[in-house]
Structure 1
Amino acid sequence: MRLLVAGLLAGLSSPLAAADYLPPPSHDDGWVVADARTTHWDVARFAALEGKLADKTYKGITSILVVQDGKLVYEGYFNGGSAEQLNDIRSASKSVTSWLVGAAIDRGLIPSVQAKVYSYFPDKQPVQHPDARKQAITLEDLLTMSSMWECDDENQFSSGNEERMYVSEDWLQFALDLPIKGFAPWMTKPADSPHGRAFSYCTAGAFTAGAVVERATHKPLSAFAAEVLEKPLGITQSHWNTSPLGIGMGGGGTRYRSRDLAKLGELALDDGRWKGRQIVSADWVHHMLTVHAQARDDADYGYLWWCFRFPVKGVDQPAWAMSGNGGNYVFVMPSQRLVAVVTSTAYNQRYAHPQTQEIFRDYILKALPGQ
């Protein structure tokens, strides 16, 4: 650790904590690094956070990075994490798939988010549970987790629960064969839901969205990602999983280094630009980071991106997020020109998501200049 954790136990003053703070090192990876003290970050909050990591209040955290105004101001690795570690970000991969859908639309390879999903897979038809409503499912329905498929990863009894998909060989056929969902009396129908969409978290849908990209581009998802996203961002290492039949897994398990995850956040913050170069259109970013569905009482959903609200100076501000099992997050808070990365290996632990959100809320945001 780069801050003097031992001195935190008695709550040292900011000047001493500031003296122990070290700016992130400069590498040849495109990032501009800066000293957080020059813009009046409360670096004692970073020290306090490292204390919580040292005493295991927060478990499994492997990296924390903070970027403001395009400059990397804090970078820490813990619990065996390192700058070269390819982090398994699980479902945060879904947000990368959204970038790839946008890149395909930008290139005219997919006409729009209104493209009909089943039209891309004539070789997979006829499907089980035929229904005109299935043929009407659009790419936007998959991006917003609001298709009419009976698919809910949070319900172990759901036909489309992801664990059922994983034990089948043909994941794509599994998804396309899903039945139309029914709405019990206690469930909110689309017409009665905010934004006209009934949200249901469905990894099979994100996987199918990635399969649409593969069919439209005639390339493996990993190859298209390297061409249109990773290489332009200077990302030289990544790992993509595939289904048993070789289709890119756009629903989870992609691996990136922490600094590269921060680039994906900065791309969202800067309207699809990196170093002044337009990588993905600003129009796509606008639609991707617009609320299209209410996921929970405390969270909304865009195109495979979550939208939370966190207090800054007592006022709730929206923060968009890539989010995955284990508490892996890339936060983007436009109002503060802020990107934060937290990677974690607390997979399948109930505390994982709450602890990462607490780190962002109680340490990173409270360290902001002027707090």
Structure 2
Amino acid sequence: MRVEGAVADGFEEVRDEFAAVVAAEPGLGAQLAVRLAGRQVVDLWAGPGVTGGSLFALYSSGKGAAYLVVALLVQDGVLDLDRAVAADWPEFAAGGKSDVTLRDLLAHRAGLIGVDGGFSAAELADDRLLAPRLAAQRPYWRPGSAYGYHAFVVGALVGEVVRRVTGRSVQDVYEERVRAPYGLDLYLGLPEALEARYLPVRPARDGGRGAPAPDSLTGIAFNLNATPPTDLVEFANTRAVRALGPTSSGSVGNARGLAALYAAAVSGIDGRPPLLAPATLAEFTKPHATGTDLVTGEPDHFLLGFEAQGVRYPPLGADAFGHSGAVGAQSFADPGSGVAYGYTRNRFAAGGGGGAEENHRLIAAVLRAAG
């Protein structure tokens, strides 16, 4: 399969690794973009009908954009991480949640991974519909006693806090402060005019791994306790999901957009200073979840909101932060090396789960090239 795009001098090995990845999976559409200290050094793509500007379903990758908005509002003094959610959202106190803080939500410690009976497709597509269902739900474990990935709902939870405090949605704040100013091809709500650039996501060639029991914590977190259970391929390929851009699951974009998001956060782009001040970056890259994630089974899964990428990819620094997407997409910033990374694919990876296996070899090659 032919690889298109370019790499900076010294990053030829990254192109070779990317070529090997796509050659091993005929028909795969994929993109890889890397920035080093804000400067683009890798911009590659391959696959039928794929260009560098093609837009893919990125699922949970959009959580990173939502968390960046929250970090900016904390930095501005608008949000308080340790304020009780119910202080601004009184309905949330139901079911023993009166002491849950914004920090608890971001650290996936609230125990509010779903609702009894699951969500409808219309609810999953719209954060505004998820919020009241979640406010009324009793947690699945005592808040603060453990943590587990709030896969489909964390965006709606923190988004409702943002809405109650600012009167605006996370999607609107992201568009105004991040996406539009930097021209990012990463959307929390895809405009109709850009639909022609969207390439539908496809199921894994191996059929994916077996589904967990619907009434397990994993099944509840991924809405398999609903009737019918959520089909992730069908979900992303639904126009309403792309249009509304639920921040937990409905992001659309490309590798360029992902890499630029994290470069803007920590390095700055085109002469602009980084979006995050050092103190804010330090707060959001501290470990907030030790032990095993009750939903994913991963160890030490989260920083504050963002996934702890240094745990998943040991060559990265302990403060590397970002987020994967269910299709196999991966994205992060590694402040120590100055690397901002975005990888996308339009077919679910074998075995399912976020962050396809090939990211290990691609990231290792990127770090070698970055020196």
TM-score by length of 2: 0.70
**How many pairs does the alignment contain?**
310
Q: Is the contact between residue 86 and residue 238 of structure 1 (CA under 8 Å) also seen in structure 2? A: no
Moved more, 247-256 or 324-333: 247-256
Q: Distance in 2 between matches of 1:208 and 1:146?
A: 12
Residue 45 of structure 2 is matched in structure 1 by 77
Structure 1 residue 99: Cα displacement: 1.1
Aligned equivalent of 2:345: 344
2:362 paired with 1:360: yes
Question: Does the Cα contact within 8 Å between 2:102 and 2:158 map onto a contact in 1?
Answer: yes
Partner residue of 2:307? Answer: 306
Structure 1 residues without counterparts, runs of 5 or longer = 4-20, 25-34, 153-157, 184-188, 192-196
* Amino acid in the other structure paired with 1:159: D
Identity %: 16
Match of 2:179 among 215, 227, 230: 230
Corresponding position of 1:279: 275
Q: Which amino acid aligns with 1:355?
A: E
Query: Deviation at 1:247?
Result: 8.0
- Partner Cα distance (1:136, 1:226) in 2: 31
Q: Does 1:216 align with 2:213?
A: no
Cα distance in 1 for partners of 2:120, 2:39 equals 40
Task: Report which of the two structures shows the higher radius of gyration computed on alpha carbons.
Answer: 1
1:172-321 matches, cutoff 5 A: 172-182=131-141, 190=144, 197-235=146-184, 238-240=187-189, 249-270=246-267, 275-294=271-290, 295=293, 296-309=297-310, 310-312=313-315, 317-318=317-318, 319-321=320-322
After TM superposition, the score normalised by the length of structure 1 is 0.70
Inter-CA distance 167–215: structure 2 relative to 1 (3 Å threshold) = closer
C-alpha spacing 1:357/1:252, structure 2 compared with 1 (3 Å): same
- Where do 1:76-225 residues align within 5 Å? 76-79=44-47, 80-110=49-79, 112-122=80-90, 125=91, 130-131=94-95, 133-149=96-112, 151=113, 159=116, 166=124, 170-182=129-141, 190=144, 197-225=146-174
Hey, what's the Cα distance between the residues in 2 that align with 1:101 and 1:369? 30
Distance 1:174 1:292, change over 3 A: same
How far the C-alpha of 1:347 sits from its partner, in A, is 3.5
Do the aligned partners of 2:34 and 2:341 also contact (CA within 8 Å) in 1? Answer: yes
Which amino acid is 1:329 matched to?
A: Q
What displacement does 1:262 show?
Answer: 1.1
1:63-122, Cα deviation, whole Å (9 max, x unpaired): 001222322111111223323223321111112111111222333332x11122223334
Distance of aligned partners of 1:227 and 1:281 in 2 relative to their CA distance in 1, 3 Å threshold: farther
Give me the CA root mean square deviation.
Answer: 3.6
Relative to structure 1, the CA distance from residue 120 to residue 335 in structure 2 (aligned partners, 3 Å threshold; closer, same or farther) is: same
Q: Secondary structure at the match of 1:72?
A: strand
The change in CA–CA distance for 1:50 and 1:201 in structure 2 (over 3 A counts) is same
More strand by share: 1
Opposite residue 305 of structure 1, the aligned amino acid is F
Secondary structure at 1:99 match in 2:
helix
Whole-Å separation in 2 of the counterparts to 1:179 and 1:338: 41
Paired with 1:36 and 1:300, the residues of 2 have a C-alpha distance of: 35
1:8 maps to what in 2? none
After TM superposition, give the deviation of residue 263 of structure 1 in Å. Answer: 1.5
RCO (CA 8 Å, sep 6+): is it higher in 1 or 2? 2
1:36 aligns with 2:9: yes
Distance 1:248 1:63, change over 3 A: closer
Query: What is the identity, as a one-letter code, of the residue corresponding to 1:357?
Result: N
Contiguous gaps of at least 5 residues in structure 2: 191-238
Whether the aligned pair in 1 keeps the contact of 2:266 and 2:275 (CA below 8 Å) is no
- Residues 163-203 of structure 1, C-alpha deviations (whole Å, 9 max, x = no match): 786399931111111113347xxxxx955xxxxx5334343
Q: Distance in 2 between matches of 1:167 and 1:101?
A: 21
SS at match of 2:21: helix
- CA gap 1:222/1:181 in 2 versus in 1, 3 angstroms: closer
Moved more, 164-173 or 301-310: 164-173
Classify 1:72/1:217 alpha carbon distance in 2 versus 1 (closer, same or farther; 3 Å). Answer: same
